[in-house]
A = this chain, B = another copy of it.
Amino acid sequence: MSKELVILAYSGGLDTSCILKWLIQKNYNVVCYMADIGQNENFEMAKQKAKSIGAVDVIVEDLREEFVKNYMLPAIQMGLVYESRYYLGTSLARPCISVGIVNAARKAGAKYISHGATGKGNDQIRFELSVYSLWPDCQVIAPWRLPEFFNTFQGRSDLIEFAQKQNIPVSATPKEPWSTDENIMHISYESGVLEDPSAVPPLGIYKMTRDLKNTEDYPCVIDIHFKKGIPVQIQVPSGQEKALVITDALTMVQTLNKIGGQHGVGRIDIVENRYLGLKSRGLYETPAGTILHMAHLDLEAYAVDREILRVKKYLQDKMADFVYNGYWFSPEADYVKKCLKDSQDAVNGSVTLQIFKGNVIILARKSEISLYNQELVSMDVAGGFSPEDSTGFININALRLKEHARFVKLTEK
């Protein structure tokens, strides 16, 4: 009888290397799938490693542009922030990778998808819900949730021992005492020594951004242009005749990551609520994402009607939860994405901002067509405004308050 085919989301690290071997021992044929979403990884070396362990094939796919165009920039457009602070760098990457692996699985004729995500985390959920949405008949093998596996490998030392026995190369450099998730949008740090929310994180933990004391001494001023809420061009530095003008989405993000990194922009240290119901502490650095988010927020406030903004706020908070919890591919997210996109028709223009010492400082914003009416708002010009109208406006709005005061007085008698 022929062996069944599993496609494994492979990282090159200890966990998925051991899982690869374990699946082979379980009599599966295993194809390894690696998505390049901008993480700092030696894909060639990882490929060799997987092959040496026994993978029947190793697929490396460059999803960086796909990730930036269809996940990261739409998230900026939608204004997604989880629990007021987190820009969802990891949450957005999972569905993107899921599309890649499902397509690869179908092409390869695999029946199973396997991954190395743990049983307490968000990523197993994001990954599997995405996979099930895209491929409802798929079967998932999640070794870290199978007693047979997690009882055998109770800690890192069990994995190392297994690896050594099975001739799986183990990195000589000791693992950092926390775990990391990296892509072109952000790096996250959690677990290990970071699990104690009252412990100040160790120095030197961040990789994309410099510590404030090492940042550049001169600010960088840039222009960011938006079309329907999507960043479409950056100009560095602003206002210079020979400024660098970038319109390619991937290059734009890479450039802003570099600038943001030099100026120490985009770090947060938070306690967040996981979908499973746990609270967990995480550190994130999101340089380009932070700059783009703040620019978008500024232009949106300028360009969009007040009442649409109120409705959009509700929708974006819902959407941030959907994405964090793994529902990027779901009826509700499809629906809300559409609604949020519709809210951005007027978000066309540019924002000028200064990047300096960890700060993103909005300096100015422009929009050829805007709801902003300088003459109307001006304190110096009447601009068609009749001040007497305000009296009526106030008096009518006071009606209900006066009635309430009357009522409260009656109840107090």
Contacts and interface: CB of A to CB of B under 8 A. Distances in A.
B392 A389 contact: yes
A338 B312 CA distance: 13
A343 interface: yes
A335 B346 contact: no
B270 A298 contact: yes
A390 B119 contact: yes
Given A362-B270, A390-B124, A335 B356 contact: no
A53 interface: no
B393 A396 contact: yes
A315 B338 CA distance: 14
A172 interface: no
Interface in A186-204: 191-192, 195-201
Interface stretch (A26-34, A64-72, A241-249, A380-388): A380-388
Contacts of A379: 118, 120-121, 179, 191-192, 195
Nearest to A373: B403
A83 interface: yes
A118 B396 CA distance: 14
A85 interface: yes
Contacts of A232: none
Interface string A289-318: 000000001100110011111110111011
A46 to B, nearest CB: 22
A269 B270 CA distance: 26
A134 B142 CA distance: 32
A42 interface: no
A280 interface: yes
A277 B196 contact: no
A349 to B, nearest CB: 9
Nearest to A127: B394
Given A200-B364, A399-B278, A332 B307 contact: yes
B309 A83 contact: yes
Contacts of A317: 313
Contact of A396 (B198, B273, B392): B392
A301 B119 contact: no
A377 interface: yes
A128 interface: yes
Given A128-B398, A331-B404, 19 more contacts: A83-B309, A125-B397, A144-B387, A145-B391, A150-B387, A179-B379, A197-B364, A197-B372, A199-B364, A212-B359, A273-B301, A277-B401, A278-B400, A308-B332, A310-B321, A311-B336, A373-B403, A376-B399, A388-B392
- The 6 A-B residue pairs whose C-beta atoms are closest, nearest first, are A392-B392, A119-B387, A277-B400, A307-B332, A273-B306, A357-B357
